[in-house]
Structure 1
Amino acid sequence: MASSNTNLWVMLGLGLAGTILLMTRKLKRAIMPDFGAFIQKLELLPPPQPAPPKAPHPLTDLTFAVSDLFDIEGYVTGFGNPDWAKTHEASLRTASVVLSLVDGGAKCIGKTTIDEMAYSVSGESKHYGTPTNPGAPDRVPAGSCSGAAVSVAAKLVDFSLGIDTVGGVRLPAGFCGVIGFRASQGAISQSGIIPVSASLDAIGCFARDPNVLRRVVHVMMKLQFATQRSPKQIIIADDCFELLKIHVDRVIHPVIRSTEKLFGRQALKHENLGSYLSSKVPSLMDFSASKINAQGKTSTLTLLADVMQSLLRYEFMENHGEWINSVKPDVDSAIGALSREGNVIHESEIQKMNQIRTEMRLALNSLLKDDGVLVIPTFPHPPPKVGGKDMSSETYLSPLFSLLSIASLSGCCQVTVPLGYHNKSPISVSFIARQGGDRFLLDTIQTMYSVLQEQVDTSESKSTPSTYSMERSAEAAKEKGNLAFKDKQWQKAINHYTEAIKLCGSNATYYSNRAAAYLELASFRQAVADCTRAINLDKKNVKAYLRRGTAQEMLGYYKEATEDFRYALVLEPTNKRAAASVERLKNLFQ
């Protein structure tokens, strides 16, 4: 009996010891000093500082890491796959973009983990382990450049480099709660970088500080000093925000409030991006015949996602198919699945997809011009939990790729900006500028960043899902009013503008537009009242001053009318209508 009791206690002791050992191992893994971000530590030191009076290097005292698809002389570029590392020699030279950053004064301290051959978007590496997401340790960091995002989020480096093909920088930046920048396609040399998909690849950068990001990109792109520019239009893609699975207000309201504060309400514009692109990208209709979904229809954004994924598969296999087939990869991996499928896309389909890319670039460049920024969600769903199956689900991936395809196919530049947390998961919003508008986009983010963070409402209880839909309804009513005004249906226009005001009474444009309709009906006092309300909401509303001046003149209040026209001239010195009105009143009543 005593022996039996002794054995029992021994068993319990061993079980407890085993449990403690497992817990200790898990704890050690959870608090690894590098969060699993690095695959290899190294040092590339910058050159000595120039002697005074020359300025120090622009990136002095900054540290950075690079994803493991950038060549560094003397080191094997592993491409996220141990078989690749075994079958390739050490690099003979360092990637040109890495050299430019080191020459700029920054110190490179290592290579970071990527998804296998940079092909996945989950950030979960079966070969090297999944880096821990510092922003949400139970959530995946996203890929393909997961380690680079984690190294910045964990404050192990000041910035890091990655390649963004179908979201490889934007997505992990959003999931880990840092700033992520995808440069315009072709804007930075990709010499010394393993290609994933040549027509989609773009160099990207992670940072916590927008000022650091701006300095780094200026060095990478060899940009000279220029006066900082602000956007004239912030265009909100309404249909993209319909894809969000969290409260839309939590993402869009900081953008709206920041825009109003910095640039005025008149800078805001709403656009149905899918409808716009369907009219500007005719080649997409040729591609759609074989892509109709089970309901007999599919959205423009979904079609774009299909085009992006098809191009990625084709070009990836063109680059690496021979090697993949030679090493016979794990059948359960994404690379193994590609090997089984083969590269069966017909050349004529590739030509169609490249035509879509060209038309996409032209369409977005036309929409954004030199002074517009498009606003979209970075991702529709919250980051999935580690070990979950969400990121292999079509339900999860389809809307995600729809959003990521916009910049990937058009070649536009995009910045992902963190907006705090929702239900303990990082959330973010993205800003897109035309291809080649990188400097302008960085200027915009530097201007908006601190105000955006101030506007982030950390209290989820204040989120009101109905607010944004009311604003959209108000915009729709305003557009109906504009159409009625164009058709000279003045009273109908007034009714629509009144509906817009009831839905959103803080928009100066609605009052100013209704005043224009009142003027047409000779309802001058109502026009004065509406213009005064518009001016109280927006002190820089030139149209409201002009319309109130006209109404005041018609009522015989010539002094007040002159003051309005003169103030309109202060706001717009080249406004011919204001100048002519001031001159006319001066000649009549001098």
Structure 2
Amino acid sequence: MAEFTVDTSAPVEGNAPLPAGLIEAFWRYERALMADDVPALDALFVDDPSTLRGDGSGLLVGHERIAAFRRGRGGAPKRRILEVHAQVIDDDDALLVAVLGPLAGGRGQQTQLWRRSDENGWQVSAAHVSAPAPAIDPRIWRIVGTPLVGSTETGPLDGETVAVKDLFSIAGHRVGAGVPRYLARATPGRVTAPAVSALLGAGATVRGIARTDEFAYSIAGVNPHYGTPPNAAVPGAIPGGSSSGPASAVASGQASIGLATDTAGSIRVPASYQGLWGLRTTHGAISADGLLPLAPSFDTVGWLTRSGELLARITRLLLPSPVGLPARVAIAPGVLDTLEPDIAGTFRAGIDTLVAEGLIPKPSEVELPDAAAALATFRTVQAAEAWRAHGAWITENPGAVSGAVAERFRIAQAVTAEQESEAREQLGRLRGELREILDDRVLLVPAAASTAPQTTASPDEIDAVRTATLQITCFAGIAGAPSVSAPLLSTSAGPLGLALVGPPGSDTALVDFATRLTPLAR
């Protein structure tokens, strides 16, 4: 491909003569941007914790975070500068607004506050970019409509729009499971999954089918085929998966409900990373008919929303007969001891606030089964079932999945019948222990072991976060219990969900309880 040449002939207008060197610095920035010269771009922004860079996906504060974002985005779309408007403040400060002409079409705008220093010359201290909004963000959506599927009835969900994870059957549409080759060989569904039909029957419409990680075998939200859906709460961060598409659609306001699945945390993790409400329902409470499985012993249907009120409304509609909720709450110090101090500290401070506000009683402390051993048991059964569900297709289609997911399937293939049998026996014991704990108390834990990692994090960093998070999330899966991720905690690096785990069948009461904990909500 020919090198892109920056055209510097755009007219420049202003309220006063431009200070010396300003427009030259502007064009130096533009050349560096079009060449994706990250070191040059870093040098053209003020190296200060208060430096700002914003766009439609959010605000980055501080030179370090802005630099990390640049390293991970893979370059900016090619564009022409059509015109530049300057507001000179004084000899060392000026505001430049440029009208952008993206080669892909449309119009955009870039606003920059430039500052001059004796040491570094002209640098940007604050910037905001407004790009033309794509009709469809293919990182979030596989297909959308207006609507894609209309409501069959009027009801309490009138006006709500649903992003359906690309695992559910919808009559007339294919299931792609985040894998292009699987989508290409799929046939349109003949029936609509009951979970989708239930929302349609309550008055909601399906906005579209949203992305998932390959075969939903991940909690990161990264898809090598379609790109990583944006995290609407933390610019430059991964969205969390495998319900990444529905979560990003809801968090960015493109849908009001994300219909999703949770096997090992695939609703709770993206909810935590993007500041959403999310419910993993009691195992088997919502029909899994018409759902492409990963590990049926743990697969559950659930939903993501921006408000607790909508989460509660959906839950009362689809699960109207709740089991009562215990009066006591508990925390697990052994789990908190495995977390980074800032995460554990944020969680403990949040619990203290809830107690001080009189919203929860003082928690008791419980000892959960060994987290590493529990996760090993969970993973063995999950892997055996994942290979049983997809192994034949994976074998017949080498190279169709890649990276970490391919490695998980390789490990799954090696699980022996004896290993699976032993793990299932241990799983039964663990389930009994956990249900006994949940019988008379609600367990409170962080919904994830960290805030959302940046997309520039190494595979080893992502895997370490994944393992630490699964050591928390696997307990609800093993118990077959409902768990709510409530966006009630936050750190300087982004939101953190507070997870509540209740007895099986207590979904509605658990959601109602969670939504009353509002003083912590951001």
**What TM-score does the superposition give when structure 2 sets the normalisation length?**
0.72
Letter in 1 for 2:318: M
CA contact (8 A) 1:361 1:435 kept: no
**4+ long deviations beyond 6 Å:** 25-30
CA distance in 2, matches of 1:9, 1:175: 41
Q: Which residue of 1 aligns with 2:270?
A: 172
CA distance in 2, matches of 1:328, 1:312: 21
- SS of residue matched to 1:308: helix
- 1:240-279 aligned at under 5 Å gives the runs 240-245=335-340, 246-262=342-358, 265=361, 267-273=362-368, 277=369
Give the alignment partner of residue 289 of structure 2, picking from 191, 205, 213.
191
User: Are 1:445 and 2:501 counterparts?
Assistant: no
Q: Which residue of 2 aligns with 1:159?
A: 257
CA distance in 2, matches of 1:212, 1:9: 51
Letter in 2 for 1:109: R
Structure 1 residue 332 displacement after superposition = 4.2
User: Are 1:414 and 2:483 counterparts?
Assistant: yes
CA distance in 1, matches of 2:448, 2:360: 27
Q: Which residue of 2 aligns with 1:385?
A: 454
Mark the CA change 1:132 to 1:233 in structure 2 (over 3 Å): closer, same or farther.
same
- SS of residue matched to 1:215: helix
In the alignment, structure 2 segments of 5+ residues that lack a partner are 1-6, 10-26, 36-75, 80-101, 105-128
Structure 1 residue 419 displacement after superposition = 2.8
CA distance in 2, matches of 1:29, 1:193: 37
Q: Which structure carries more helix by proportion? A: 1
Mark the CA change 1:347 to 1:32 in structure 2 (over 3 Å): closer, same or farther.
same
Letter in 2 for 1:239: G
CA distance in 1, matches of 2:501, 2:197: 28
Letter in 1 for 2:444: V
CA distance in 1, matches of 2:213, 2:399: 14
- 1:304-323 aligned at under 5 Å gives the runs 304-323=374-393
User: Are 1:44 and 2:149 counterparts?
Assistant: yes
Q: Which residue of 2 aligns with 1:534?
A: none
CA distance in 1, matches of 2:486, 2:426: 28
Q: Which residue of 2 aligns with 1:576?
A: none
In the alignment, structure 1 segments of 5+ residues that lack a partner are 1-7, 50-56, 278-299, 457-590
- 1:74-223 aligned at under 5 Å gives the runs 74-221=172-319, 223=320
Structure 1 residue 234 displacement after superposition = 1.1
Q: Which residue of 2 aligns with 1:239?
A: 334
Q: Which residue of 2 aligns with 1:537?
A: none
RMSD: 2.9
Structure 1 residue 15 displacement after superposition = 5.6
Mark the CA change 1:89 to 1:331 in structure 2 (over 3 Å): closer, same or farther.
closer
Question: Identity over aligned residues, as a percent?
Answer: 23
CA contact (8 A) 2:329 2:360 kept: no
- SS of residue matched to 2:413: coil
CA distance in 1, matches of 2:142, 2:33: 31
Letter in 2 for 1:343: Q
Structure 1 residue 394 displacement after superposition = 4.8
- 1:303-382 aligned at under 5 Å gives the runs 303-330=373-400, 332-338=402-408, 340-341=410-411, 343-369=413-439, 371-382=440-451
Letter in 2 for 1:255: I
**What TM-score does the superposition give when structure 1 sets the normalisation length?**
0.64
Deviates more, 1:436-445 or 1:323-332: 323-332
CA distance in 1, matches of 2:291, 2:262: 12
Mark the CA change 1:268 to 1:420 in structure 2 (over 3 Å): closer, same or farther.
closer
- SS of residue matched to 1:418: strand
CA contact (8 A) 2:166 2:211 kept: yes
CA distance in 1, matches of 2:157, 2:262: 23
- SS of residue matched to 1:250: helix
CA distance in 1, matches of 2:247, 2:353: 28
CA distance in 2, matches of 1:229, 1:33: 45
- SS of residue matched to 1:203: strand
Structure 1 residue 261 displacement after superposition = 3.2
Mark the CA change 1:304 to 1:146 in structure 2 (over 3 Å): closer, same or farther.
same
Q: Which residue of 2 aligns with 1:290?
A: none
CA contact (8 A) 1:94 1:192 kept: yes
- Deviation per CA, 1:226-285: give whole Å up to 9, x if none: 7x96641110111112222225332222223324533564x5212232xxx3xxxxxxxx
CA contact (8 A) 1:188 1:203 kept: yes
CA distance in 2, matches of 1:382, 1:150: 16
CA distance in 1, matches of 2:451, 2:360: 31
Count residues in correspondence: 409
Structure 1 residue 301 displacement after superposition = 0.3
CA distance in 1, matches of 2:412, 2:485: 34
- 1:481-560 aligned at under 5 Å gives the runs none
Letter in 1 for 2:403: S
- SS of residue matched to 2:516: helix
